[in-house]
Copies of this chain bind each other. A is one copy, B any other.
Amino acid sequence: MSKQELPIIDAAVDVSGAACCAPLACEPLSESEAAELAPLFKAIADPVRLRLLSLIACHEGGETCVCDLTAAFDLTPPTISHHLKVLKQAGLIDSERRGTWVYYWINPAVLARMSALIGPASPVLAGTA
């Protein structure tokens, strides 16, 4: 692999002034990719939000009434609403009001993007298998 194919490492050489680095077996995450992905991981870096996400995904039909979600936690409805808002703002879930209740479902494309980084098919895991 030529140096021209590794712009990030070329930039690193400029910064350090030294001839570096050990050869790379795959292309590391760019600065902009990392900046986009970090907030997604931050949104699920909370036990309540992780459980909300798995509860929504596990409901038959792929969507869940907020009434079922609040019933599953020993937390106030405003606290559950706050956590759902964080997940929705990150793009991990979407929702729709139908009559009295709001219904939530997973956005699989966003989760797929996150898992592509740390999943078994990604360079991060494959490189160490």
Contacts and interface: CB of A to CB of B under 8 A. Distances in A.
A89 interface: no
A62 to B, nearest CB: 5
A99 B125 CA distance: 28
Contacts of A115: 115, 118-120, 122, 125
25 contacts: A11-B72, A12-B73, A13-B71, A16-B71, A23-B59, A25-B58, A28-B72, A37-B50, A38-B45, A39-B45, A41-B44, A41-B50, A45-B45, A50-B117, A54-B123, A54-B124, A58-B127, A62-B127, A62-B128, A106-B124, A106-B125, A108-B125, A108-B129, A115-B120, A119-B119
B22 A57 contact: no
- Main SS of chain A's interface residues? helix
Interface string A25-54: 111110100110111011011111111011
A34 B45 CA distance: 9
A68 B20 contact: yes
A50 B16 CA distance: 20
Contact of A111 (B39, B50, B112, B118): B118
